[in-house]
Structure 1
Amino acid sequence: MKTRHLFGATALALLPAAAMMAQDQATCENCANTMTVVSWGGAYQNSQVKAYIEPYKAMHPELTVVMDESSAESVAKMRAMAEAGNVTWDLVDTLASDAIRMCDEGLVMEFDDIDAVLAPAPDGTPASEDFGDLLINDCFVPQIVYSTTFGYRTDVADWGGKVPTTVCDVFDLETFPGKRALQKRPIDNMEWALYCDGVAKEEIYDVLGTDEGIERAFNKLNSIKDQVVWWTAGAETPQLLADGEVVIGSTFNGRLFSAIVEQNQPIAMLWDMQDFDLDGWTIPADLPEDRLNRVLDFLYFATDTQRLADQAQYISYGPARSSSAPLVGFSEVLGVDMAPHMPTDPANATNTHLYDYGWWADHRDDLDAKFQAWLTQ
């Protein structure tokens, strides 16, 4: 049975006060003066710093924010800290599937009433309605909708003027020779492999849930394995592409946007079968009261309608609140209209894959072990 980790009687009573306090950002009573925020590094973390952390710190000069770039290892590190009884993190940016796993294990806090924690929309719509179906879990506050997709070099002589148009071109070494970059994890890779081996999208998880399906996915990945550079940080693929070390590679769409628009690299997007996902905040369970108060005050500020729209000024991820979407337009910061670069733009979303959070939460540990074993073969 899952243990519910709520705020405890004292902290729970403070929730409405913390929400009201956050409306007057000049004060934060009984709040810690340091906050450790865990994120992913690179362009995405920079967008958070610019949109959320710097404006909040301007109102709270007493606060020191420590940034940790360990989100890719958040589940393992949270488990280790909980077991040691020494949780040093205050706010953790994580994938939706990882949030589900940490919630099930009691590692992160559950929100009993999300509308007591998050700001309403400007028209008064409660946060629970404004975020809607993206509130997939009681421990998770979504920030952005993003996708894992592919970028490719636009100047590969060996391609004879052709360019990849489908995700299955990643597996076509004859037409598109050269090194590929893939994330060093089973998620996305297993789905793409099965899809390009002829499995219909709606049947992918049924097939992947069998031993035969897992073997089938690995066999497809074997066809390109010796041409793959495996990455663990989202910034790696754009750099590998820029350096010409790979000709095509997967990463988060915002990282590719940064390379293409901000750095003017000879890279183009391959949106076919982009894998939609959510990214958002979790709070470690059982924080001391002063640290919890600070996190709640910051969370109220950082997830309001304007702040989520502000993040889209810096990176091409769609804000999770419905009320934020109309505020996304021309970025004065980057000098570009952001809407066409969003994964949710109709022109980019003609063939998408919807990531199954619950399936991966149930199967991630097992598939991780099998994937790591396959890598060593």
Structure 2
Amino acid sequence: MKKALILSTALSAVAFAASAEQITVMSWGGAYTTSQVEAFHKPFTAETGIGVVSVDADNPATPLKAMVEAKNVSVDVVDVNTSDAVRLCDEGQLEEIDPAMLPAAPDGTPATEDFLPGALSDCAVGNIVYSMIVAYDESKFPNEKPKTIGDFFDTEKFPGKRAMWKSAKTTLEMALMGDGVPAAEVYDVMGTPEGVDRAFAKLDAIKGDLIWWEAGAQPVQLLADGEVAMTTAYNGRIFAAAVSENKPFVPIWDGQVYEYDLFVIPKGAPNLEAAKKFVAFATGTQPLADQAKWISYGPARKSSAPLVGLYQDGKTEMGPNMPTAEANLTNALPSSYEFWVDHDTELEERFNAWLASN
């Protein structure tokens, strides 16, 4: 009896330890984190018994880098954009991820062939395609409606304050497209001093009407509060506000800048093996399709697309609301991580100096 009691106690302790295992996942907050909690975190815990603690940051790459450099890493998986994933990997800040650990598609297609081009790299696994778009409050424009990226910069025809992300990235690209540069030519133009001058000149024209946002939830709030008539914003945030909260917000897909968000594992992650299990689970075909029930970001796997159905309201078709819908790609710009890896520092410095000037 005594041996049985000791064995029972030991097994209980093992079971408790297993159930107490948890990882910390850092993401961007708002409707996006909600979509990950519902599609990834909860099902992962149900399947593995590993708990998931969710934390958010305005740009998760920034605290990730600080943690790794301080050798005090408290997160296990981090959601970052493509240029940050490549840069942090090159700097040795991330664990390498073997694509062999990722599940195949339901028909057996290997993960390396099932993910969209550019969604897999040495240290990162893509989960969604998202975009920065222009959106407006329909109630501010009772007659003619804005339709193009150029209309965002036309404060005479479409008066009202504007909001933009406080970053050179996407802001400069949108300024050039607003000035008439076709999406396909933007990075060629931005690669010249004259092109950069042209982008800043376009921003100069509306600088007095601009409000700057830093966190993804802010542009939606600025629209809702009536502080701005138009804003740049992540497409999923606008969709969530319009459909879930019945806000009169309308997306303009012309001039959208789209890219991947990817999962990475910081060097020195405290729960490395559990982190790998989470990344493999979350980037499987079904979880990526399930995320689309919660937010209008396109899944990074080909096999997920046919499984995308209705929004959580049970009536809104998600396909047409994706950045990757054919109708939304007419003048769309894939963000160039190669360009930003090479030019990020110099352009951010110039952007910040421009912000500080009169």
| Equivalent position to 1:212, from 168, 190, 194 | 194
| Equivalent position to 2:94, from 105, 108, 127 | 108
Secondary structure, aligned partner of 1:331: coil
The residue type equivalent to 1:270 in the other structure is I
> TM-score of the superposition, structure 1-length normalised?
0.86
After superposition, give the CA deviation of every residue in 1:269-289 in whole Å (9 maximum; x if it has no partner): 11111111111101112435x
- For the aligned residue pairs, the C-alpha RMSD in angstroms reads 2.0
- Give the 5 Å matches for 1:250-289: 250-288=232-270
Whether 2:357 is the aligned partner of 1:369: answer no
Secondary structure, aligned partner of 2:197: helix
> CA, structure 1 residues 213+306, in 2 after alignment: closer, same or farther (shift >3 Å)?
same
Whether 2:39 is the aligned partner of 1:59: answer no
Distance apart, 1:296 and its partner CA: 1.1
Residue equivalent to 1:84: 70
| Equivalent position to 1:134, from 112, 118, 125 | 118
Secondary structure, aligned partner of 2:131: strand
Residue equivalent to 2:83: 97
- Structure 1 CA distance for aligned equivalents of residues 232 and 262 of structure 2: 21
The residue type equivalent to 1:68 in the other structure is V
Distance apart, 1:330 and its partner CA: 2.1
Q: Is the 8 A contact 1:314 1:333 kept in 2?
A: no
- Structure 2 CA distance for aligned equivalents of residues 217 and 244 of structure 1: 27
- Structure 2 CA distance for aligned equivalents of residues 71 and 170 of structure 1: 24
Q: Is the 8 A contact 1:71 1:92 kept in 2?
A: no
Q: Runs of at least 4 residues of structure 1 off by over 6 A?
A: 29-32
Residue equivalent to 2:308: 328
Q: Is the 8 A contact 1:164 1:176 kept in 2?
A: yes
> CA, structure 1 residues 201+340, in 2 after alignment: closer, same or farther (shift >3 Å)?
closer
Residue equivalent to 2:21: 33
- Structure 1 CA distance for aligned equivalents of residues 327 and 236 of structure 2: 16
- Structure 2 CA distance for aligned equivalents of residues 80 and 169 of structure 1: 39
- Structure 1 CA distance for aligned equivalents of residues 184 and 241 of structure 2: 33
- Structure 2 CA distance for aligned equivalents of residues 69 and 202 of structure 1: 34
Secondary structure, aligned partner of 1:36: strand
Q: Is the 8 A contact 1:71 1:93 kept in 2?
A: no
After superposition, give the CA deviation of every residue in 1:144-164 in whole Å (9 maximum; x if it has no partner): 1111101101112xx460111
> TM-score of the superposition, structure 2-length normalised?
0.90
Residue equivalent to 1:195: 177
Secondary structure, aligned partner of 1:186: coil
- Structure 1 CA distance for aligned equivalents of residues 165 and 27 of structure 2: 17
Structure 1 gap segments, 5+ residues each: 1-26
Structure 2 gap segments, 5+ residues each: 1-14
- Structure 1 CA distance for aligned equivalents of residues 36 and 163 of structure 2: 26
Residue equivalent to 1:346: 326
Distance apart, 1:59 and its partner CA: 3.2
- Structure 1 CA distance for aligned equivalents of residues 345 and 130 of structure 2: 23
What percent identity do the matched residue pairs reach? Answer: 47
> CA, structure 1 residues 314+247, in 2 after alignment: closer, same or farther (shift >3 Å)?
same
The residue type equivalent to 1:240 in the other structure is L
The residue type equivalent to 2:44 in the other structure is Y
- Structure 1 CA distance for aligned equivalents of residues 118 and 88 of structure 2: 17
The residue type equivalent to 1:129 in the other structure is E
Secondary structure, aligned partner of 1:72: coil
- Structure 2 CA distance for aligned equivalents of residues 190 and 48 of structure 1: 30
Distance apart, 1:132 and its partner CA: 4.0
Q: Is the 8 A contact 1:183 1:251 kept in 2?
A: yes
Q: Is the 8 A contact 1:305 1:323 kept in 2?
A: yes
After superposing the two structures, state which structure 1 stretch, 166-175 or 136-145, moved more.
Answer: 136-145
- Structure 2 CA distance for aligned equivalents of residues 183 and 334 of structure 1: 32
Residue equivalent to 2:59: 72
Q: Is the 8 A contact 2:28 2:60 kept in 1?
A: no
| Equivalent position to 1:166, from 148, 151, 167 | 148
Secondary structure, aligned partner of 2:121: coil
